Amino acid sequence: LNTPKTGIQITENEMKMQFAKVQNIIEALNHGEGDNQDKGVPMLGWQTYARDITPAEIQKIQDAARNLADKCDVVFIIGIGGSYLGPKAVIEAVYGKNYNDVLKTKLYFIGCDTDPDFYAHCLKIGEDKNCGVVVISKSGTTTEPALAFRFIKRLIEQRQGKNAKDFIIAVTDAKKGALRQLADGEGYATFVIPDNIGGRFSVVTPVGLAPIAIAGIDIAEYLSGYKKALPLIDNPDAEKNPAALYALLRFLAWQKGAAAEYQVTNSAFFESNLAWTMQLEPESEGHYGHGLHVVPAVFPRDLHSIGQLIQQGPRDLIEIATKILTPRADLPVPLYADDTDELNYIPQNKLTLNDINKMTIDGPLAAHYADGVPNMTIELEKITPQNLGEYHYLLMKATAIQGYLLGHNPFVQPGVQFWKDKLFKLAGKPGY
């Protein structure tokens, strides 16, 4: 048995031949145009939102968030897909997965489950506590978050009575949808998701900003990073634009038969950002038979499982690594006179835990490359709200470019609507 060694190969010349096309795409995007095949509304508001939001609007989000956090022991963030992945990614990157160990007001992301055991558990958590909620839904009609809101609304009403509305923030469309109707009718505080920004591109709007402000993260800092990225990422000169290169490499890899993209990192704090990417890219690309399967992996953990398949499985994959260069803390490895576990060589070679952590991504990437898996790397100097803002804009722009290269509208998801309708039919919703 021989393991095939030859994987996806892309030459510099193949890249260069696409630069003029990519330049046109970036210019079209920058001018708010859609040159995609199935036209539709160019949902491009995420390109300018961070620049256009006023200090007064930022302050309003911060004040509402502080007010809710101050009076609540627990805040439930309700949303699904693009209506929760972005803020969760930022909060986990800043505080780690166990963010509730450091936050005074505990946060629970719900609305993407319909598991009764999970809801019973959440209601137990909220029992006898001051609970608040940020309910996020652009359409305002998505079943899972709407169901979650019913349960949490009842929980809050049972404790707060007629003041319940002061514990509820709704983030939704300016005019349309059941959530907008409910919010206006009951007098909840509301923030708007603009018409021209779709769910998976909405982390920069109150969808992301309200929850991250409740977690005490400086939203102005996040927005400043996002804005800082604009000149670089909007640059039509494809060769100098990392979003263009990112999109082009993925596009060419797909054209040459790549089926899967492993999104890898060696930062446990960064894992939720890979989950965010796992929505952003496939939901935007998976049309007309296009698209790569995005598989998130944290190294070294997942090397001990899918690492085998990456090394010696089908050669139809690429790897995209995100490395955090400087961790918040570094640890020297303790030296023991008794070296039974044979680890003394690490401190003796003057290596710290971070040095080992870097090797657990550099080593495997090199090994995978040797067996035919091409890769590219994004480096974040540190995890800060500012760098996360830059990172999100890079990936969103790259996803838009990629959609236009594939020749379809990356801002719609008709396939998602298809199964939503099936679910309504199964549950006997009137009209389905």
Point out the residue whose Cβ comes nearest to ligand PA5. 199
**Beta strands per DSSP E along 38-140:** 74-78, 106-110, 131-137
Q: At residue 405, what is the residue type? A: L
Closer by beta carbon to ligand PA5, 260 or else 278: 278
Which of 18, 83, 205, 267 lies at the binding interface for ligand PA5 (CB under 6 A)?
A: 83
- Of 143, 42, 90, nearest to 383 by C-alpha is 90
- Of 327, 326, 330, 308, nearest to 317 by C-alpha is 308
* Residue 137 interacts with ligand PA5 (CB under 6 A): yes or no: yes
Which of 18, 47, 105, 139 lies at the binding interface for ligand PA5 (CB under 6 A)?
A: 139
Catalytic residue among 228, 293, 358, 420: 420
Residue 152, both tokens = 């949490």
Residue 413, both tokens = 């998801």
Which of 92, 283, 285, 390 lies at the binding interface for ligand PA5 (CB under 6 A)?
A: 283
- Give the span between the Cα atoms of 77 and 74, in whole angstroms: 10
* Residue 28 interacts with ligand PA5 (CB under 6 A): yes or no: no
Candidate ranges 50-58, 136-144, 157-165, 313-321; the one touching ligand PA5 (CB under 6 A): 136-144
Work out how close the CB of 137 gets to ligand PA5 at its nearest, in angstroms, rounded to a whole number: 3
Catalytic residue among 12, 124, 162, 304: 304
Candidate ranges 14-22, 134-142, 219-227, 324-332; the one touching ligand PA5 (CB under 6 A): 134-142
What 31-40 contacts at long range (C-beta under 8 Å, 24+ apart), as own/partner pairs, is 34/409, 35/404, 36/403, 36/404, 36/407, 36/408, 36/409, 36/410, 37/407, 37/408, 37/409, 38/408, 38/409, 38/412, 39/409, 40/409, 40/411, 40/412
Three-state secondary structure call for residue 368? helix
304 is catalytic: yes
Catalytic residue among 92, 271, 283, 390: 283
- Of 222, 281, 322, nearest to 82 by C-alpha is 281
- # residues near ligand PA5 by CB under 6 A: 14
Work out how close the CB of 28 gets to ligand PA5 at its nearest, in angstroms, rounded to a whole number: 21
420 is catalytic: yes
Touching ligand PA5, residues 196-215 (CB under 6 A):
198-200
Closer by beta carbon to ligand PA5, 138 or else 392: 138
Show the site string, 390-429: x = touches ligand PA5 by CB under 6 A, - = not: -----------------------x----------------
Three-state secondary structure call for residue 356? helix
Work out how close the CB of 283 gets to ligand PA5 at its nearest, in angstroms, rounded to a whole number: 5
Distances in Å between the Cα of 354 and the Cα atoms of 9, 272, 325, 402 are 32, 20, 9, 34
Are the C-beta atoms of residues 260 and 292 closer than 8 Å to each other? yes
Work out how close the CB of 136 gets to ligand PA5 at its nearest, in angstroms, rounded to a whole number: 6
Work out how close the CB of 263 gets to ligand PA5 at its nearest, in angstroms, rounded to a whole number: 17
Which of 77, 135, 138, 400 lies at the binding interface for ligand PA5 (CB under 6 A)?
A: 138
Show the site string, 171-200: x = touches ligand PA5 by CB under 6 A, - = not: ---------------------------xxx
Which of 142, 277, 387, 402 lies at the binding interface for ligand PA5 (CB under 6 A)?
A: 142
* Residue 319 interacts with ligand PA5 (CB under 6 A): yes or no: no
Angle at 272 between CA 266 and CA 377, to 5 degrees: 40
Work out how close the CB of 80 gets to ligand PA5 at its nearest, in angstroms, rounded to a whole number: 5
Please give the span between the terminal C-alpha atoms of the chain, in angstroms, as a whole number: 53
- Give the span between the Cα atoms of 125 and 132, in whole angstroms: 12
- Of 412, 411, 410, 407, nearest to 21 by C-alpha is 407
Other C-beta atoms within 10 Å of 39: how many? 10
Residues catalogued as catalytic: 283, 304, 420
Binding site for ligand PA5 (CB under 6 A): 80-83, 137-139, 142, 145, 198-200, 283, 413
